[in-house]
Amino acid sequence: MSAALKLVEKEGMENKNKALDAALAQIERAFGKGSIMKLGQREALEGGGMHTIIVANPKGGSGKTTLIEKLIPEFRLRGLRVSMIKRAHHSFDVDVPGKDSWRHRQAGCHEVLISSENRWALMHELRGAPEMSLDECIARMSPCDLLLVEGNKHSPLPKLEVWRSVNGKALLHPNDAHVLGIATDVPVETLLPRFELDAVREIADFILDKAR
């Protein structure tokens, strides 16, 4: 192949790439940044089944739940099925005292499953048995594209740390090598990617890139 022909092909490819970049930029201006998922992100999610990342903080009140609440619609807009595991640090009950299912559990049922046309819920009583590990919780989840975990900050899974200066707690990073990025309300000294707490699209891109 002659040098002239190679040059023409190179220029043609460069023009195509410029046209594609312009088209993508126009779409993002119209519909917002993040409205197009990168091919590598989509392939990574499709190729490996369920991908998991932990959203952790050193102390409550960091805005972790609020951030997750904003991220979920963003992921759904990108065509992803998202699920959640929430670690509770105290006794909790999703049932209503006095209802039939509550009375059945109080009477000694090991499990009670409630089902309707909109949803179903399985309540499992440990009754002294050990609490499930995070791996056991993940194994019980139905297939999805992305599994978010709120809490479980000591687990060796990739983490996004959410931190507010008013809490007065030290960052999990750099003492936790599994923290791969930080969302904060103020600048912090770190070599990791840092995001403003309201940078939802950028954080969503980061999570899709780092979840495994």
pLDDT value at residue 23: 61
Positions of the chain with pLDDT under 70 = 1-49, 59
Cα–Cα distance between 186 and 180 in angstroms, integer? Answer: 18
pLDDT of residue 159: 92
- What is residue 124's predicted lDDT score, i.e. its pLDDT? 94
Residue owning tokens 């996004």: 160
Note the pLDDT of residue 50: 72
CA dihedral 66, 139, 211, 87 (to 10 degrees): 30
Output the pLDDT for position 198: 93
| Consecutive H or E run containing 207 | helix 200-210
Strands 194-196 and 51-56: unpaired
pLDDT value at residue 94 = 86
